Amino acid sequence: MEFGMKRVVASVQAVAVLSRVYDGSPVALSIISTESNLSVSYLEQIFSKLRRNNIVSSQRGPGGGYHLNKSNTSVADVIRAVTAIPDGFKPVMDALEWVPVTQLANGKLPTP
């Protein structure tokens, strides 16, 4: 399934929220949904792709949720996980490789 720009932006936003609230304990999609204003069913689709691409891992059962697999996930990592990137976007993706999602989660703009 090819994702559009809306899904790419929602995916980056969801990982930024997870990054901001993650304290080592699993984070439920309902918390990410509340923080991001995205529906749980929409987040399930996104997190399925993120899990398959090792951005997050999941823990089932009571108290379950999602873990962030690495603390320095880049925006490019998230975009690559959720969509196929056209060849012409390589320079953009190379630049986004240097923008950590945590920087966006803290409300900071990337420095050039």
Say whether pTM exceeds 0.75.
Answer: yes
Q: List the pLDDT tens digit at each of the 112 positions of the chain.
A: 455 888 899 999 999 999 999 999 999 999 999 999 999 999 999 999 999 999 999 999 888 999 999 888 999 999 999 998 888 888 999 999 999 988 876 665 554 4
Residue 64 to residue 48: CA distance in whole angstroms: 15
Q: Encoding tokens for residue 106?
A: 């803290």
Residue 87 to residue 73: CA distance in whole angstroms: 22
- Does residue 43 sit within a domain? yes
Looking at the structure of the chain, the number of domains it has is 1
- The helix or strand, by DSSP H or E, that contains position 66, with its residue range, turns out to be strand 65-68
What are the two backbone dihedrals, phi and then psi, of residue 98, each rounded to the nearest 5 degrees?
-95, 5
Which one, of 55, 49, 93, 53, lies nearest residue 73 by Cα? 55
CATH number at residue 66: 1.10.10.10
